[in-house]
Amino acid sequence: MNKIRAGYRFFLFMFTASMTLLRIMLNLKLSSSKGQDYILNERRKWVRKIIPRVGVKLDMTGTLPDLDQAAIFVQNHKSYFDPVTALKLVKAMPVSKAEISSWPLIGFMASYTGVLFVQREDKSSRAATLLGMEKELEKGNHVLIYPEGTTTDEAKTLQFKLGAFRLASRLNIPIIPMSIEFSKDEDAWVGSTLFLPHFFKTFGKKEVYVKSTIGPKIQGGSPEELLEKTQSWIDNDILKIRAEFEAEGISRS
């Protein structure tokens, strides 16, 4: 039953992603007035529909701050599903590891609808990605980043990389922290576990329970100050979310 459920959800995810992509491509061909904002809107509509349909119970709290300019959204990293939760609320250009660009369909859809890919171990790639982020911010597009560089199932974030915070400091761009935590440690995608086995194990369950919080706007100061304030807020909120799961009688194992 679990494998049947997971297989159905995987098919649903891929099928609806394909239909969304085809609709976007067709409408862009038919109307020259539609651009990136239209693409981001359509992607967000798809995200909002697919989250509950693949069995995810998403409890998202907090209020999106008033923004009169583009912002950098910073989320801790637990799984490949993290950006899906964030994009439910935010029209943003995520920064993702380059390997995802080679994933069948998912990589093409990500690239076509707006994802900045980075080879984290390549210094020139990181520099190019920061330049791409700056261009998107100048165009008024929000950017979504995962400054840990990889995923973790721990209660504390890994040390954030400084690059995006240097950019935010130099351009005086606001940072919006976002926390995310799964109710079960096993739902995090860490180490050398392959995507499909993890997807089938996780989404074969009746429900995947996720909590996420949108934090306050953080702006101004040195890169180091911005990083410390952002990481501290996310770390504290992860602990708060874990306490909420515990209060609900949910074991992490």
Contacts of 218 (CB under 8 A, 6+ apart): 174, 175, 176, 177, 226, 229, 230, 233
Determine contact, residues 34/27, Cβ cutoff 8 Å: yes
Condensed to tens digits (0 to 9), the pLDDT of residues 216-236 reads 999 999 999 999 999 999 999
In Å, the largest CA–CA distance within the chain is 53
Coil, helix or strand at residue 29: helix
Please tell me which residue, 212 or 102, carries the higher pLDDT value. 212
Residue 100 is predicted with a pLDDT of: 83
Each residue's pLDDT tens digit, 25-72: 999 999 888 888 999 999 999 999 999 999 999 999 999 998 989 999
**Mean pLDDT for the stretch of residues 190-199:** 90
pLDDT digits (tens, 9 = 90+) for 51-64: 999 999 999 999 99
Tell me, what's the pLDDT at 204? 96
Residue 19 CB neighbours (<10 A)? 11
Asked whether the predicted pLDDT for residue 122 surpasses 80, the reply is no
Alpha-carbon span 200 to 185, nearest angstrom: 16
Residue 1's pLDDT band (cuts 50, 70, 90): low
- In the predicted model, is pLDDT for residue 202 greater than 90? yes
Per the prediction, the chain carries an average pLDDT of 93
Give the pLDDT score at 102.
Answer: 82
- At residue 113, does pLDDT exceed 70? yes
List domains and CATH numbers for the chain: 2-247 (3.40.1130)
Of 47, 92, 119, give the one whose Cα is nearest residue 130. 119
Least Cα distance to 133 among 119, 150, 146, 116 occurs for: 116
Residue 15 in this model has a pLDDT that exceeds 80: yes
Mean pLDDT of 157-183: 97
Mean pLDDT calculated for residue range 140-147: 95
